[in-house]
């Protein structure tokens, strides 16, 4: 296993840590003793063939799936058995392959709903548009270059805009860690890098660590700080994009398929 990044930041427990996660669906082992450490401040890409357990890993970290064995720690705190919404409140947000926006509401309202949920409905009878986070939410929309469509309903927006707003919605939860499933899937290939650039910039600005599943090696090479290769329910390799993308095993098992 390549471990170029280990030991870079070692003050206290890692941001997220999993120990010996096991989960089986029928005969398929989707997580096979996964032990991962995710350090703060880096964008980690997860690559690997379909069915390798990448999404399962994200689902376990966010509480949507409960492992049959093993534990998940957030800064040393055991969050394995917490329901998803409590994990969100503790700072682990999730963006899905298909943006989960409230399509009948405007972009800004989607963020405001997030902000209100984050604050646990402190002033439930207040007007949504008067809540004090409004400026903060406009700033987030600005971060993802979507301030101009703040008052459009989600159905009117392009797929790329929805992706970015979905990320802004996740950022509205003030997460420390954002887990994303193919952040640029569905976006026209000519715009993928642009969307990813905005996204990575927004994450850096907001000080959010990210983990994203990605199939596009061009995106991985350009936007990830670190890459983990998943295979058969476990991490096979981990290292910098350069190390990983030139690794013979990866070329054979992951990239080779796409080139051929």
Partner 1 sequence: MNLTIFLLALFDGISYAALVFIVALGLTLIFGVMRILNIAHGSLYAIGAYATVSLTGFFLALGFSPIFAFPLMIISAVLVGMLLGGPIEWLLLRRIYDKPEVLQLLVTFAVFMILEDAQRLVWGTQPYFQASALQALGNITLFGVTYTVYQLILLPLVAIGLLFGLRFFLRRTVIGKLILATTEDREAAQSIGIDADRVFLFTFIVGAVLAGLGGALASPTTSILPGMGADMIVLSFAVVATAGLGQIEGAAVAALLIGLGRSFAVYVWPEVAVLVPYLIMVLVLLIRPQGLFGSPVARKI
Binding site for partner 1 (CB under 8 A): 62, 84-85, 88-89, 93-94, 96, 100-105, 109, 112-114, 116-118, 121, 123-129, 131, 169-170, 172-173
Q: How far is the CB of 171 from partner 1 (least distance, A)?
A: 11
Residue 10 vs 130, nearer CB to partner 1: 130
Q: How far is the CB of 91 from partner 1 (least distance, A)?
A: 10
Q: What is the enclosing helix (H) or strand (E) of 191? A: none
Neighbouring C-beta atoms of residue 114, cutoff 10 Å: 23
Residue 116 vs 250, nearer CB to partner 1: 116
Q: How far is the CB of 133 from partner 1 (least distance, A)?
A: 11
Cα–Cα distances in angstroms (integers) from residue 70 to residues 22, 73, 169, 229, in the given order: 6, 10, 30, 20
Residue 110 vs 231, nearer CB to partner 1: 110
Q: How far is the CB of 129 from partner 1 (least distance, A)?
A: 8
> How far is the C-alpha of 38 from the C-alpha of 174, rounded, in Å?
18
Residue 39 vs 166, nearer CB to partner 1: 166
Q: How far is the CB of 227 from partner 1 (least distance, A)?
A: 26
Using the Cα atoms of residue 208, residue 206, residue 227 and residue 88 in order, give the sign of their dihedral. Answer: positive
Residue 44 vs 168, nearer CB to partner 1: 168
> How far is the C-alpha of 151 from the C-alpha of 94, rounded, in Å?
24
DSSP string, 160-171: HHHHHHHHHHHH
Neighbouring C-beta atoms of residue 238, cutoff 10 Å: 21
Closest among 249, 248, 246, 243 to 230, alpha carbons compared: 249
């Amino acid at each position: 296993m390549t471990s170029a990044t280990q030991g870079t930041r070692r003050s206290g427990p890692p941001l997220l840590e999993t120990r010996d996660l096991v989960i089986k669906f029928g005969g398929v082992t989707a997580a096979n003793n996964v032990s991962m450490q995710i350090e703060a401040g880096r964008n980690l890409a997860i690559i690997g063939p379909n069915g390798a357990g990448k999404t399962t890993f994200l689902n376990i970290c966010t509480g949507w799936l409960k492992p049959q064995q093993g534990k998940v720690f957030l800064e040393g705190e055991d969050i394995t058995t917490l329901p998803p919404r409590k994990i969100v409140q503790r700072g682990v947000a999730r963006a899905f392959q298909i943006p989960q926006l409230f399509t009948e509401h405007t972009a800004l309202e989607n963020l405001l709903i997030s902000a209100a949920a984050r604050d646990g409905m402190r002033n439930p009878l207040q007007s949504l548009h008067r809540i004090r986070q409004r400026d903060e939410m406009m700033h987030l929309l600005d971060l993802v270059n979507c301030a101009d469509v703040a008052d459009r309903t989600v159905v009117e927006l392009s797929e790329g805009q929805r992706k970015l707003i979905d990320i802004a919605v996740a950022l509205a939860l003030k997460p420390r860690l954002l887990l994303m499933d193919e952040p640029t899937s569905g976006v026209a290939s000519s715009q993928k890098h642009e969307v990813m650039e905005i996204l990575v910039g927004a994450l850096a600005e907001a000080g959010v660590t990210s983990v994203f599943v990605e199939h596009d090696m061009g995106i991985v090479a350009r936007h990830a700080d670190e890459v983990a290769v998943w295979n058969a329910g476990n991490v096979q390799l981990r290292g910098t994009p350069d190390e990983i993308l030139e690794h013979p095993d990866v070329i054979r098992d992951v990239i080779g398929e796409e080139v051929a």
